[in-house]
């Protein structure tokens, strides 16, 4: 399926997997609707996307945790952007690495509000239009953490398990329409993920990747674009991908 001229909405598009996905779709000639909180970084991604071949780029300052803001952003898109062909639910984060009984409520709220409720808000705002038009594809970013919990990460893992089940339920709910629903579930990817988790502690973040060659954001973006480009009758329900030095969310082989 050609992606040229398709309207692609990507949340959390200012960095990491979101930014890489924007550039990958740009290379296919897609029209990019980029959403994130950090408008300065988002503008940089937009400029790079244009040089990569994006047919057009439109940026939205958006916090997916704000239900009203999400609905308004979709309801009041310029006419030429109102028909979204592909939604990439990428916005997500982790905060802290604490035992559950010692966790911080504010960290739990931020993860649940972004990873679960934000996913729901954006999906709810976008998918009805896809159903009415009779075409569309929702691709959500999950994680190996959604399949197997790891110590001190119970709430984050729980949010990613929720993403997987919500995605599966959505696929059932749109059965009988041409809408496709995909979950891309990476393992270790070297982004700002750990820096965000540890609130800017770069030394602690660097230890996460020590001795392992992790996936890159571009690796994940390539799979997202591949899934979107399958023939219209083909739905890629789920892709789980890891570095070769990772077996699951618990087991790694680290070089000395």
* Catalytic site positions: 156
* Cβ-contact 169, 211 below 8 angstroms: no
- For 128-157, the DSSP string reads HHHHHHT--EEEEE--GGGTS--TT-HHHH
C-alpha to C-alpha distance for 154 and 105, rounded to whole angstroms: 13
3-state secondary structure of 59: strand
3-state secondary structure of 44: helix
- For 149-216, the DSSP string reads --TT-HHHHHHHHHHHHHHHHHHHHTBTBS-EEEEEEES-B-SSHHHHHTTT-HHHHHHHTTT---B-
Sign of CA dihedral 73, 78, 82, 88: negative
The CA distances from residue 73 to 34, 36, 37, 47, in Å, are: 12, 12, 13, 21
Structure-token pair, residue 112: 């649940």
Q: Which residues pair with 10 in a beta bridge?
A: 34, 88
CA Rg value for the chain: 17
How many Cα atoms sit within 13 Å of 74 on the Cβ side? 25
């Amino acid at each position: 399926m050609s992606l040229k001229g398709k309207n692609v909405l990507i949340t959390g598009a200012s960095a990491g997997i979101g930014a890489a996905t924007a550039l990958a779709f740009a290379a296919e000639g897609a029209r990019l609707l980029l959403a994130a909180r950090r408008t300065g970084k988002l503008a940089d991604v937009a400029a790079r996307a244009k040089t990569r071949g994006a047919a057009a780029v439109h940026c939205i300052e958006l916090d997916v945790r704000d239900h009203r803001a999400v609905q308004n952003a979709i309801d009041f898109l310029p006419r030429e952007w109102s028909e979204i062909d592909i939604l990439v639910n990428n916005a997500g984060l982790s905060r802290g690495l604490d035992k559950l009984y010692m966790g911080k409520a504010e960290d739990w709220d931020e993860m649940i509000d972004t990873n679960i409720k934000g996913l729901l808000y954006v999906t709810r705002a976008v998918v009805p239009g896809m159903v009415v038009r009779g075409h569309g594809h929702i691709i959500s970013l999950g994680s190996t953490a959604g399949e197997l919990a790891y110590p001190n990460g119970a709430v984050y893992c729980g949010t990613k398990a929720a993403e997987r089940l919500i995605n599966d339920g959505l696929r059932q709910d749109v059965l009988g329409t041409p809408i496709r629903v995909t979950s891309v579930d990476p393992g270790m990817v070297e982004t700002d993920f750990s820096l965000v988790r540890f609130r800017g502690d770069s030394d602690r973040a660097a230890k996460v990747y020590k001795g392992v060659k992790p996936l890159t954001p571009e690796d994940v973006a390539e799979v997202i674009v591949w899934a979107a480009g399958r023939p219209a009758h083909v739905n890629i329900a789920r892709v789980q991908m890891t570095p070769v030095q990772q077996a699951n969310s618990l087991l790694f082989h680290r070089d000395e």
